[in-house]
Structures are given as C-alpha cells and as structure tokens.
Amino acid sequence: MIRIYKDPDSLVTAVADFIVVCAKEAIDRDGRFNLALSGGESPRKLYALLSSAPYRRSIAWSKIFFFFGDERYVPPIHPDSTFAMAKETLFDPLGIDAEHIYSVDTSLLPSEAATRYEQRIRGHFNGDIRFDLILLGLGEDAHTASLFPNNDVLHEKRALVKEVFVTDGFTIRVTFTARLINLARRVVFLAYGESKSEAVRHVLEEPLNVEAYPAQLISPEKGERVWFLDERAASEIWKREHHIPAAKHTKRKN
C-alpha cells in the first residue's frame, strides 16, 4: 500500500494517526503494543509529534514496549545514537518506564550486542516473535534499517539481529535482519523529500535486485507493508505512471 501526502508535516501527522490506530488494535487484542523504532531526521519529527498534545493522550503509553530496528555502535549518550534521539524526543517527554525500552547494549562487543539483543527479543515474545509495527526509513542508496547495499547481512537467513560493518563511513551497527522484519504484522516506510525519490522508484518499480536495493527485501510474510511518502519522495513513480512532471501533479494515492 502506498499513501502519498502533500508535504512532510501532513505525512508525519498521517503516520502518527496510523500508529494510534495500530496501538489501540494491538492493546485491545493482546494487552500490549510492540513497536520497533527507526532512527534519522524523519522519525525525529514523528516522535516529537507523538509526545505532544493530543497524541500523548491518545495512546496507552504504559502498554507499549519499544525496540530499535537498528542502532549505531556508539554509547547511548552519543549524538549519533538512535536511543539517545528517541529518549530526548519520546521517552523522556512521555515518562516511559525504562523496563518498556529494549535498547541495544553497545558496551558489549558488536557480535555480543547483536546476540544479546536477539535473546532479549526472543524472551520478550516467548516463542511467538511478531512485532505489531516496525518503523523503517529509506536511505538514498535504498538501504533500510542497517541493511546496506552489497553487504553480507542481506543474505542472513538464521539470525534475527546481526552486527554490520558499513563501509560508507566505516561504522559498525546492529540491525534487525530482513528475516525478523518480515515477521511483523505491519511495516511502515517513512520517506520524504526529493532526495529519496530515486530510491523509492528503484525499490518499488525496478526488478528485484536486493544487492543494489536492499529495501526490496522487506515484504512481510503474513503482514502489511505501508509506504508513507510526500509528493517529492513520490515524484519519480508519478512521472513513470503519468508521464507528466511530478511538480504539476497533486493527486493523492490512498
């Protein structure tokens, strides 16, 4: 499913509304909502919105368990830490109980951090591993989480969480594998801005080539994949579909 909105603000509001619905559905069904967060600037705007009125009163936050789809291998107070960003914009403003936050322990060696995180996830789900919602971003190179082009992790079939060395920037990360992501009930891609338009087109319209476009790996086995895009991020798929300049096209897909 693809949902396209006029600008980033309306897009982020739509995702927040979607999370409200998903949370209520999961809590009514299971008594809890298991949510995996994404890093980056796009989610930052989303988390800040969720922690403000009226959203802070629209969700039973005490019944949500938070996880991270990937994390940079840095201390939890480092500016590049996804946990630090979520703590600042979401956890602290909402007063989230620390026991409901499953963060990656980057004090361990990378391989140990990945193994330990997988163990904690397995323990939380007690054999039935299925996130209610996983939030994902999309890089300009078509990566998602820390599944980067031409990386061995793209072919991981056993592990649910894996350490990754990213040659672009020479960084280490810990990431959900495609195997784990594809077990989710719902996966949401959030992307806005013209810089993401080529990656969106590659992932959605090019023949399958996961080495070049890793986000193509994401297709929940028994769940739903929803793309939330603004008009600029969707401009290339509009051009191909309608053969007109995207800037002149304002139709919204739902």
Note the pLDDT tens digit of each residue in 93-109: 999 999 999 999 999 99
227 and 2 in contact (C-beta within 8 Å)? yes
Largest CA distance in the chain: 52
Instruction: Say if residue 247's pLDDT is above 50.
Output: no
% residues pLDDT > 70 (the chain): 93
221 and 183 in contact (C-beta within 8 Å)? yes
For the chain, what is the mean pLDDT?
91
The reported pLDDT for the residue numbered 225 is: 96
State the pTM of this model. Answer: 0.91
> 59 is written with which tokens?
């969700």
The reported pLDDT for the residue numbered 167 is: 81
Residue with tokens 């509001």: 13
Q: Architecture of domain 2-248 in CATH?
A: 3-Layer(aba) Sandwich (3.40)
The reported pLDDT for the residue numbered 139 is: 93
